[in-house]
Chains A and B, each alone.
Chain A
Amino acid sequence: MAAVNSVQPLAVQYRRQNRWRLVLLVLLVLALGMSLATDLATGSASYPLSEVLAGFADPASLDAGMRVILFDVRLPYALMALAVGGALGLGGAQLQTVLNNPLASPFTLGVAAAATLGASLTIVFEHHLPALPHNALVPAGAFLCALGVTGLILLLSRWHGGGSDTLVLFGIALLFALEALVWLLQFLADANALEQIVFWSMGNLGRATLTHVALVATVLAVCFVLAMRRAWALTLLRGGAAHAASLGIRVERLSWQVLVEVSLLTAVALAFVGTIGFVGLVGPHIARLLVGEQHRYFLPASVLCGALMLSLASIASKSIIPGLLIPIGIVTALVGVPVLITLILTRRSAS
């Protein structure tokens, strides 16, 4: 607390800080574009980037085979990485703020485990279910189960009247029960179903169609707009719940809105791709390091970082073993764990 030392009005410095953040957001968008193009160019048949870009400028110039591979095979896959990554990033960022916990992620509430259970149930009991195509049935099962379980957790902790700590505890407790149920199903399943369950729970973008992408992107867009409308309230929540409440923010209502929304967003995203860990946890941390915690910048940065992470993971999943597509959930976990540990270690040395 030194003497007054104002070089220039604070507003000017603050705006300069914001301009720099805006520049970073633009750079993230550019990086995302590069990553998307590279993702499209990578695969069992790899194309030069320039050809891919030219193909997008003028699809008619491509030969039929390349057009099919680019637009029908790789484009849904690559776009799904962006949409799901963005959704997990946005969900994680908001949950970390309202639960006031840097280790919160969209999976904290048990959404992923519930989605896996739902998918497993539909895979095992597919013959007894209405004759929907497999491609629609499994996501529907995963989505409904994820939503039901998170709803249950939310209701339980609301009924109990506990705060966010109770919520996290319920989530963790339920996680074990859900995992046990999945194991039970795996134990009962025949070889074919077992393989499908295991494959589903590894997380895979390969099942995506453009319709799925549009669905996830629409939900993401709606949730993003809602999140940005509460950006200041969320920003103030970082100053502490008591402080935010003293400014007239209804902290509890805000938290519930966020929890319900993030559950929905995550359930939609995971229904189509399976369990993809760590993006929702690490994406927001990287965003925070880049642009700080003012949520008008932090939220978009989290979306972009999540999307970028998953897009890069998608490239890696095709390139690590040439000709083989490693499930992307494996890649994000393998890359995410060291990143997470590094973040925790730097956090400790900073404090």
Chain B
Amino acid sequence: MSLQLSDVSVTRGKARIIDALSLPPLPPGSMTALIGPNGAGKSTLIHAIAGLLPASGELLLDGQPLPALPRDERCRRVGLLPQTLPQAAGLTVYELLLGGLRTLGIAHGEAETRIEDVLQRLRLTPLALRPLATLSGGQRQMIALAQLLARQPRLLLLDEPSSALDLHWQLAMVEAIRSEVQQRQSIALLALHDINLALRSCERVIVLANGRCAADGEPLTVLSPDLLAGVYGIRGQIEQCSLGRPVFVLDKLI
């Protein structure tokens, strides 16, 4: 019962973006951070798992090969939060959420209950009937998260979910995902740039570089100064702060 990737390759045009990637299984109830420099293949991998890019190799969710699932079934089990924010349209938040759930084949009444519930959980209820065009970028990103949580997928894929969020909402976002993952025993994989957010929220980190896995494991052991130097070309290290939390301190470019 997990997400298993073995020998996964993804090509775009002639370039091989993900190159024979194999990972130990991602277990239920876990949050894993996917980090790596720009162009490492984080988004490509996430899109391939979601079925939006063709991939070769083995992608198993709970023992079932993902590519064999019908498209709508795959969409129900695997939820993707794309990197781009929902666009500032005249559509209201409620319509966006309802439309998403209806498209996935969820009954009207059930969809209404889920929307009410998720907006309350994320404290976004006051925005429900407002057009997306009247919301800030951060608010739209939270709405995208609400959509993802309302879908209740088995596997949550989040591509840079905090890119438009302030500090308060960054924390609210990871805590909402944490409680969802624990409650429903689902699996979350988050592509992140912010190493501190990864340290704070995920019990495991996968470091991607040039389409291959450069390191994988518990964040405190994986994110060594040598690895960070090799992957990002920076000097930095993780230290214990006065609150007792590990924090990443960026020193300088190499």
Contacts and interface: CB of A to CB of B under 8 A. Distances in A.
B102 A232 contact: yes
A101 interface: no
B116 A292 contact: no
8 contacts: A239-B91, A240-B84, A246-B52, A248-B75, A249-B103, A292-B95, A293-B95, A350-B133
Given A239-B91, A240-B86, A242-B84, A17 B139 contact: no
A248 B104 contact: yes
Contact of B90 (A3, A10, A238): A238
Contact of B103 (A3, A9, A233, A351): A233
A249 B82 CA distance: 14
A349 interface: no
A341 interface: no
A57 interface: no
A240 B104 contact: no
Q: Chain B: interface residue count, which band?
A: 35 or more
A243 B129 contact: no
B103 A239 contact: no
Contact of A236 (B74, B99, B124): B99
A60 interface: no
Contact of A239 (B71, B80, B96, B116): B96
Contact of B87 (A9, A14, A240, A351): A240
B116 A238 contact: no
Given A9-B116, A11-B116, A248-B75, A242 B83 contact: yes
B189 to A, nearest CB: 14
A9 B115 CA distance: 10
B123 A6 contact: no
A294 B100 CA distance: 12
B52 A14 contact: no
Given A233-B103, A242-B82, A246-B82, A4 B125 contact: yes
A226 to B, nearest CB: 17
Given A238-B91, A242-B84, A293-B91, A4 B103 contact: no
Contacts of B96: 235-236, 239
Given A233-B103, A246-B50, 13 more contacts: A9-B112, A13-B128, A13-B129, A100-B87, A235-B91, A239-B91, A243-B147, A246-B82, A247-B104, A247-B147, A292-B90, A292-B95, A293-B95
Chain A interface extent, by class: 20 to 34
B169 interface: yes
B213 interface: no
Contacts of B100: 236, 247
Contact of B99 (A1, A5, A235): A235
A245 interface: yes
A1 B95 contact: no
Contacts of A14: 94-95, 98, 128-129
B120 interface: yes
Contacts of A351: 133
Given A1-B124, A10-B128, A17-B129, A239 B75 contact: no
A243 B83 CA distance: 9
Contacts of B52: 245-246
A266 to B, nearest CB: 24
A2 interface: yes
B125 A10 contact: yes
B91 A292 contact: yes
B126 interface: yes
B230 to A, nearest CB: 32
Interface string A273-298: 00000000000000010001110000
A54 B129 CA distance: 45
Interface in A221-258: 232-233, 235-236, 238-240, 242-243, 245-249
B144 interface: yes
A155 B252 CA distance: 52
Interface in B138-154: 139, 142, 144, 147
